[in-house]
Amino acid sequence: MPSPRHDALVQIFKDRPQLAVEILRDLMGVELPATPLVQLESTTFNTRRSDDIEADLVMVLGPPQGPAHAVIVEIQQDRSKDPRQLARYAAVLWLMLNCDVSVLVICPDAKAAAHYARPVDSGLTGYRFQAHVLGPGDIPAVTDPRQAAAHPELAAMAVMVHGRDRKIAEAFIAAIKDLPSDHAPKYYEYAYSMAAPEVRRLLEEIMRSTTWPVYSPFAREHYGRGLEEGQAKGQAQGQAQGQAEEAARAVLLVLTARGLDVPDDIRARITACTDLARLETWLTRAATAQSTHDLLTETAR
């Protein structure tokens, strides 16, 4: 089953297909056609009835009526996929589009990167497949906020693989603060979803010094949703009880989204609370609390 890291990486390339071209051409030295036209294609290749091949992302360079080059992007976090399947992807897409095909494999794990970087003897005479693999050692450690702002996708991936270096996390946070308001939360969520737990904690620590009210993407989503729903219900019904119920539900949503255990007694305490100020404090603290017990202890009156 795809992980949050897998989904975030796929979404980064889906949001800006040109990124795959830049990685292949600028980071890996692959010669690609010079064209500003890069568009996403269907990720399902049909080779014959009832036989579909599903890739993570497919994009085509050049006009739809005459594609010049195709790029398949695969996110592989382990060695579970047979590399020959990647050769099959390339061959089928070449037959479909009648143009050259590159396969770009993004591997946050070094052993997985080495696994997919080996040439594949397909068994078909003359067809020896070679994927272009971007492993953790190939992702630049972006420590300059200006460079991070110019390449936020690579900066987010740098946090994913090098984020234990505080300078990299700080450069990323400094960069996204200067991005448009609708872009900054998106890139922060990408980096947060892809990062290891200790890197997530570092990101949250750095973010506390900013003006953002909630630091976890999950908390941001549910914080805003919980307050909006609570306020709307309070205005409609004119009852503080409605606001408290919605705020309590938002606290539980945040804790659940972060994977924290919520024992029955603590769930009951949160649900029964009618103090809206206390609930809002719990809701904000839920973004970084290490446990539900810490959440309540730290805010106990």
Domains of the chain: 4-138 (3.40.1350), 145-207 (no CATH), 217-298 (no CATH)
Write down the pLDDT at residue 104: 96
Beta strands in the chain (DSSP E): 38-41, 44-48, 51-54, 57-61, 69-75, 100-106, 120-121, 128-129, 132-134
Residues counted in the chain: 301
Distance of alpha carbon 68 from alpha carbon 250, whole angstroms: 50
Q: Are 42 and 76 in contact (CB under 8 A)?
A: no
Residue 75 pLDDT level (bands cut at 50, 70, 90) = very high
Write down the pLDDT at residue 222: 44
Tens of pLDDT, residues 162-218: 999 999 999 998 888 877 777 777 888 889 889 999 998 898 888 877 665 444 554
Write down the pLDDT at residue 135: 94
Write down the pLDDT at residue 130: 92
Residue 221 pLDDT level (bands cut at 50, 70, 90) = low
Nearest CA to 146 among 170, 167, 111, 174? 174
Q: Are 150 and 166 in contact (CB under 8 A)?
A: no
Burial of 118 (0-12, 13-18, 19+ CB in 10 A): exposed
The amino acid at residue 255 is L
